[in-house]
Amino acid sequence: VQLQASGGGLVHTGGSLRLSCVVSGRTGRRYALGWFRQAPGKEREFVASIAWNGQITSYADSVKDRFIISTDTTGSAVALQMNSLKPEDTAVYYCAANAKTFWTPSAPQTNFEIWGRGTQVTVSS
């Protein structure tokens, strides 16, 4: 399985961006999908995740009510709509897949075994 993220860029405070991640080579397995981010000098942190059926989501408190995670009907793509962006949202964003506990979005980061390359999001003040 491979993940390919895209959609990062530079935006002003209050702006919006939409990140996309394509999942290829699934071979019928089910995955919960998530987004994580890592700012310079900081540890990678959870942003949002969604269960395999697209029905249950989970968000970090810092992005709740501003970001929306969604999947397509086949679970082969996951998107992160980011609104009301703040400078503190600046980071490299990664999508990841979790087959261990695919039925829930609430899982430790270590359950996400497959990671895509990151995409840079920069929010200017």
Pairing of strands 119-124, 9-12: parallel
Question: CA 99, CA 16: separation in Å to the nearest integer?
Answer: 30
| Partners of 9 in the β-ladder | 121
Q: What is the mean pLDDT of each run of 10 residues along the chain (125 residues)?
A: 95 98 85 96 97 94 97 90 98 95 90 95 96
58-71 residue pLDDT tens: 999 999 999 999 99
Q: Which residue is associated with the tokens 């942003």?
A: 47
Pairing of strands 9-12, 77-82: unpaired
| Partners of 96 in the β-ladder | 34, 115
pLDDT at 119: 97
Tokens read off for 16:
């919006």
